[in-house]
């Protein structure tokens, strides 16, 4: 078991393909590891050991007629609809919700997606610590007293703990990258529109993207290969050809122009240990042949406040469907209005309610221009900042998160401190560009993620640069706890 657990997803996939290991053996190993550590980590809302075994046997039986990724068990964030398996979105509202179809992001795994389980998350993906889940907090495998980040904290913790070789998360303001950073794994947010959002329970539709959470950059490329592609069922899905994400991976960074984003490296609240690792990686890229300089995103300080208007505004609309009639929970009451009210009062947690109220306020007549319209103007400025930065640089480097993993409970009573976790990650969501977090090293004993951003649909280059970071970093993936 230990031997298989130590492999990357790509290595395991190759062994399954050659017949050296069966998909069923892999599923057994994942299930056993879940048994072993889940009590401590709580990475899952729902585990699906029988489904994993049954489907793995089917995949084995289809020998010869399958894609490389199909033999490797996958952890799926509980925001992605899975046919016949309950999908809670971390909310009491959807405690018993069983979707009738799989999210399109899963379609290239075919009918027999070998699923380890549904990963825990902040309710409706709102949060940075996985403490906003109705199903308990997930613990960081590096230090069980700390959070794994969020909102895809269950996915990140599962990968770090080896409860699966790879996972899917979603990223609206940083939810793939920040937990990846805090758990010492790789997290990629693809270009907006690269991966279908069909069957993904909506948080902020103009920002949401599904992304791979993996042990290394090669696994990230392979999982992106599996989930990317145009989907007519998602009107924002891009009809852009899917390149081969693995082919350029080892081509190095010689001559690549890397801009270190001044505002995000030196901003207040960036921990010294995080800054040091980022600077060391910049040096490492230069040593590997990249041309490293200083880049500026002059409006980046407005990205966080703009996001916390735009995302809640979209939430207030997207979460209106949870009314006790169409989906999930219903609290019976005297009349229809009472039923709505009591259902939403009982079904949503505090953060979901806070966002619905913020968003409703920002969109209300008289305040719309002052808040929502203003935030959209900021969004345009951020896009222009990136356009000008990408005229000088191929990729931009920054920390992923301002801090390493913090203690459970440390920020729950201070929403603004929690929101500040997203300060480095949000600009990429507002601009719709791809961004990846790669472990850059340790700050004392905890992992630090560094972030790379690049222009729309340049994931092959982004992954190649990320691979160079991996080589420059003083960091190797090892199972925790």
Residue nearest to ligand GLN (CB): 175
For the CB of residue 422, give the shortest distance to ligand GLN in the complex, in Å.
5
Selecting among 81, 129, 133, 151, the annotated active-site residue is 151
For the CB of residue 438, give the shortest distance to ligand GLN in the complex, in Å.
18
Specify the length of the chain in residues: 481
Q: Which residues bind ligand GLN (CB under 6 A)?
A: 125-128, 151, 171-175, 203, 311, 422
For the CB of residue 394, give the shortest distance to ligand GLN in the complex, in Å.
25
Of the pair 71, 173, the CB lying nearest ligand GLN is at 173
Q: Please confirm, yes or no, whether 175 is among the known catalytic residues.
A: yes
- Name residue, tokens 């270190």: 260
Selecting among 81, 91, 152, 175, the annotated active-site residue is 175
Best CA proximity match to 310, nearest among 227, 378, 261, 234: 378
The whole-angstrom separation of Cα 92 and Cα 432 is 31
Residue 286: is it exposed, middle or buried by C-beta count within 10 angstroms (0-12/13-18/19+)?
middle
For the CB of residue 197, give the shortest distance to ligand GLN in the complex, in Å.
13
For the CB of residue 400, give the shortest distance to ligand GLN in the complex, in Å.
12
Of the pair 165, 420, the CB lying nearest ligand GLN is at 420
Characterize the bridge pairing of strands 115-119 and 44-47.
Answer: antiparallel
Radius of gyration of the chain (CA): 21
CA distances to 260, 396, 401, 402, 454 from 294, rounded to whole Å, are 5, 9, 19, 19, 15
Residue 118's DSSP bridge partners are: 46, 76
Name residues whose C-beta falls within 8 Å of residue 44's C-beta, 6 or more positions apart in sequence.
34, 38, 75, 116, 117, 118, 119, 120, 154, 158, 163
For the CB of residue 126, give the shortest distance to ligand GLN in the complex, in Å.
5
Of the pair 220, 343, the CB lying nearest ligand GLN is at 220
Of the pair 126, 297, the CB lying nearest ligand GLN is at 126
DSSP structure class, residue 146? B
- Name residue, tokens 């990408």: 390
Name residues whose C-beta falls within 8 Å of residue 145's C-beta, 6 or more positions apart in sequence.
139, 407, 408
> DSSP string of 50-117?
HHHHHHHHHHHHTTTSS-GGGGS-EEEETTB-BTTB---TT-GGGTT---SS--GGGGGG-TT--EEE
Of the pair 169, 259, the CB lying nearest ligand GLN is at 169
Selecting among 15, 77, 189, 480, the annotated active-site residue is 77
Q: Please confirm, yes or no, whether 151 is among the known catalytic residues.
A: yes
The whole-angstrom separation of Cα 138 and Cα 149 is 9
Q: What amino acid positions are annotated as catalytic residues? A: 77, 151, 175
């Amino acid at each position: 078991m230990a031997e298989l657990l130590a492999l990357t997803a790509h290595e395991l996939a190759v062994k399954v393909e050659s017949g050296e290991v069966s998909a069923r053996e892999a599923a057994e190993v994942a299930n056993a590891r879940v048994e072993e550590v889940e009590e401590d980590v709580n990475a899952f809302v729902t585990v699906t050991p029988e489904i994993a075994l049954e489907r793995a046997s089917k995949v084995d039986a289809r020998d010869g007629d399958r894609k490389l990724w199909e033999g490797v068990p996958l952890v799926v964030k509980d925001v992605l609809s899975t046919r016949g398996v309950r999908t809670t979105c971390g909310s009491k509202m959807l405690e018993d919700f069983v979707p009738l179809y799989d999210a399109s992001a899963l379609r290239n795994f075919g009918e027999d997606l070998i699923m380890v389980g549904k990963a825990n998350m902040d309710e409706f993906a709102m949060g940075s610590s996985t403490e906003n889940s109705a199903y308990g907090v997930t613990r960081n495998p590096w230090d069980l007293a700390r959070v794994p980040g969020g909102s895809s904290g269950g996915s990140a913790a599962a990968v770090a703990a080896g409860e699966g070789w790879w996972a899917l998360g979603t990223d609206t303001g940083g939810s793939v990258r920040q937990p990846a950073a805090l758990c010492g794994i790789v997290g990629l947010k693809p270009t907006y529109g690269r991966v279908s959002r069909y069957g993904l329970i909506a948080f902020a539709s103009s920002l949401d993207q599904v992304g791979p959470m993996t042990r290394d950059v090669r696994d990230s490329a392979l999982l992106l290969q599996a989930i990317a592609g145009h989907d007519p069922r998602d009107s924002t899905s891009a009809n852009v050809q899917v390149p081969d994400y693995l082919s350029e991976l080892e081509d190095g960074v010689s001559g690549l122009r890397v801009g270190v984003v001044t505002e995000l490296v030196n901003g207040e609240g960036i921990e010294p240990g995080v800054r040091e690792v980022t600077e060391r990686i910049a040096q490492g890229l230069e040593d590997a042949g990249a041309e490293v300089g200083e880049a500026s995103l002059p409006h980046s300080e407005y990205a966080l406040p703009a996001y916390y208007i735009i995302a809640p505004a979209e939430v207030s609309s997207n979460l209106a469907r949870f009314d006790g009639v169409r989906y999930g929970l219903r609290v019976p009451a005297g009349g229809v209005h009472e039923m709505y009210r009591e259902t939403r009062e009982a079904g949503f947690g505090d953060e979901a309610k806070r966002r619905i109220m913020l968003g409703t306020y920002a969109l209300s007549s008289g305040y719309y221009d002052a808040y929502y319209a203003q935030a959209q103007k900021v969004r345009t400025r951020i896009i222009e900042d990136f356009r000008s930065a990408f005229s000088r640089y191929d990729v931009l480097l920054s920390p992923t998160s301002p801090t390493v993993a913090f203690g459970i409970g440390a920020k729950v009573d201070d929403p603004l401190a929690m929101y500040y976790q997203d300060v480095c990650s949000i600009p990429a969501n507002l601009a719709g560009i791809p961004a990846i977090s790669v472990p850059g090293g340790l700050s004392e004993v905890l992992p630090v993620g560094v972030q790379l951003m690049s222009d729309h649909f340049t994931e092959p280059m982004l992954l190649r640069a990320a691979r160079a970071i991996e080589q420059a970093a003083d960091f190797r993936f090892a199972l925790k706890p």
